[in-house]
Structure 1
Amino acid sequence: MMKNTIDTTLSLFLIFGFALILNSCSTPSKEKDTEIQKTVYASDVIPFFDHWNLILGDGANAGIANNFAHPDFFYTAQDTGADSAQHWIVFKAPNAGDTHGTSNNTRTELAQLKKWTPMTDAKMTATVKVMNVSATGDARVAASHAVVIGQIHSADGHENEPLKIFYKKFPGHSKGSVFWHYEINTAGDDNSGRWDYSTAVWGYDFSTVGSDENTYPEEPEDGIALGEELSYEIEVKDGMMNLKFTSAGHETKTFTKNLIESEYTTTADIPEQTQKLFVPIGQDGVERENAYAEEGLFFKLGSYNQTNGKSPEVNRNWCSGAETHGGDIQKQYEDGNYAEVWLKEATIEVSDAAVSNKGYFTKND
């Protein structure tokens, strides 16, 4: 009898001890699983979202994007290269969907809340890589296969754009082009004559297009590939805009543009590039003498898709005739008809003299 009692006690002790061992082993695993599944937000990668409003690729205003993600448009992803621990912020925008304001194009883009004048000290830097541009679009249309990855926008007057930084890659090419635009601040009340002047950084500028709908120019020798990192620095001081572009293995490029004194005040000043691209479609305006002086400006950053489904007959520079699947976003994502930009690092600095604003973001482009 005593032996049976001892055997029973010993068995219970062993079972209880084994259960404790199992429990002690399983607890860290659960904690580890919880840690793996924790969402890494964009604001964990770059803690500066108090300065921005976020517009999504379906036209929605997400506001200040702290601890925010959207699976279709705005989230984080880990680097697929050597630094696999690095998280990037993903901005994704289809060729078509509900757009924000009066724009023809979708965007997942940050718009700075505080506005400032060209006489303010203002600076923005960003390190990005473009992961996709639209697979379709009329090659004769300059905006086809392009995305804007950074901007300065005016908040006043015509609300034009003294700076847009583009990436563009034709189908079948391994390398694309980086270029930047200055849009004139059109003289007078009618803004229909506004036009952009494009300057190449690496590869081509905006004016290099295909000879027909599906025929592309030669691949640029000094271009940037999808997934290749590049950095830009925009600094405005005393009315001058200074730009710097860097990328490993490429020549560093710098540019300067006067934002308060125009060089395009008469029709004789309209450059040859504009004569080729914009004048034939009726965009032949001139700029006010003081350009963007005293206007409120603000930075923008993200993926502003320049490819859309509108007919090239409407506008041969901006209407791409690309595939949109009737606005079905998932179908566009499935066959490459979207723009995707990844952001690793960014900074913003604006002097105290800047003009504050109550959550302003552009209603136009």
Structure 2
Amino acid sequence: MAQLDPSKAPSENFDLSKWKIVIPMEDTKPERKGKVMEISKAELNEDYQHAPWFYTDKESGAMVFAAPNKAMTTPNSSNARSELHALISDNTSIGPYEPANNFVLASHPDADKFGAIGGKMNATLAVDHVSQSGDHRHNDSFSVVIGQIHAGTNEPLKIFYRKLPDQNYGSVYWNYENNALGDDYHRRLDISHNVFGKAKIRFGEPEPTDGIKLGEKFSYEIQVDGNVMYLEFTKNLESKIPITRSFAIDLAKGHYLGNKYDAGYKNEWFFFKAGAYNQCSTGVVRCKNEGIEAGDYTQVSFYQLDIKH
């Protein structure tokens, strides 16, 4: 990892030349009144930071993302986020969802019209805080999404960290969303895969001592090569014996684990996301929103973040 300078803005410590960011507050631009704050690639790379939602930690130099339990959100979500969105093209005049800004699988019939076939994202990070309020019967309570591959409609990858407030260890797991389309759209289903600890822990259950504590550094690597998504997660980074978990899934194939509604992602386009996408909201998850001082927020610190196409 590169040496981080606590006196510099995130874009001076990290290569953010291929990213834009969403911040959990209302945009100040007149043309975006009533919409969530979106900072363009150009603005982001002009030493942008906006504490407490996106800034450089003054001790470690980490790039910090934070989001409250309730704030202005993007149109299709009820959850607040401070999150980067990858853009492949250097042409700033085209939109984020244009083909040149996104990647596809090798199986895509028009692959040559997109920005890339496949891609790779690496991150080293620590989750500093998750909401301390919420309904433990909902898996989104006490959790944050720290990395994604987003398709045009559904998400083949969401990486979660979740920790119950009465436990010392949290869990890292990832979800694959079956790509249910058309009349079967309501059949969408998130399929969880345990990495460190386990998903869906409830109050009263043993804590995941094989998990990860708040403030503990770990890493993930996402690589889409051809039609296959390869995932690698590593903890105990400062130990002589790091612990690594690896996964692979053919995203084009469909019917993942026998799910008949999964059309696969062979005809889809994708982009990477990274940051703090707070899954705790004041809706059905019943998270409170009494401010940062009350612990009603999530925060993630990145020490390394790279993408390649």
After TM superposition, the score normalised by the length of structure 2 is 0.82
Match for residue 241 of structure 1?
229
Indicate yes or no: 2:167 matched with 1:179: no
Query: What's the offset of the Cα at 1:179?
Result: 0.2
Q: Secondary structure at the match of 2:268?
A: coil
- After superposition, where does 1:25-64 map in structure 2 within 5 Å? 40-46=8-14, 48-58=15-25, 59-64=36-41
Higher-Rg member (1/2): 1
Tell me the distance in 1 between the aligned counterparts of 2:294 and 2:214. 16
> Is 2:67 the partner of 1:93?
yes
CA shift, 1:189, in A, is: 4.4
Q: CA RMSD in A?
A: 1.6
Secondary structure of the corresponding residue to residue 301 of structure 1: strand
- 1:34 alignment partner in structure 2: none
Q: Secondary structure at the match of 2:12?
A: helix
User: What is the rounded CA distance, in whole Å, between the counterparts of 1:187 and 1:122 in structure 2?
Assistant: 24
Aligned to 1:324: 289
Gaps (5+ residues) in structure 1?
A: 1-37, 80-85, 271-284, 312-319, 326-331, 351-365
Map 1:288-303 → 2, pairs under 5 A:
288=263, 291-303=264-276
Candidates 262, 266, 271, aligned match of 1:287:
262
Q: In structure 2, what residue type is equivalent to 1:118?
A: L
CA distance in 1, matches of 2:161, 2:105: 25
Q: 1:228 aligns with which of 216, 220, 238?
A: 216
Q: Deviations over 1:109-155 (max 9, x none)?
A: 00111210022231000000000000000011111000000000013
The separation in 2 between residues aligned to 1:169 and 1:246, in whole angstroms, is 18
Q: Do the aligned partners of 1:45 and 1:344 also contact (CA within 8 Å) in 2?
A: no
* Residue 9 of structure 1: aligned partner: none
Match of 1:340 in 2: 299
2:53 is aligned to 73
Residue of structure 1 in register with 2:122 after alignment: 125
Q: How many residues align?
A: 264
Deviation for aligned residue 1:209: 3.5
Q: Give CA deviations for 1:169-221 in whole Å, capped at 9, x if unaligned.
A: 0012111000001001103245222110000000012xx232xxxx3421102
SS in 1 for 2:49: coil
SS at 2:230 equivalent = strand
The structure in which a higher percent of residues are helix is 1
**Identity percentage over the alignment?**
37
1:39 deviates by: 5.1
Partners of 1:324 and 1:216 in 2: CA distance? 25
With normalisation by structure 1, the TM-score equals: 0.70
Q: Does 1:262 align with 2:260?
A: no
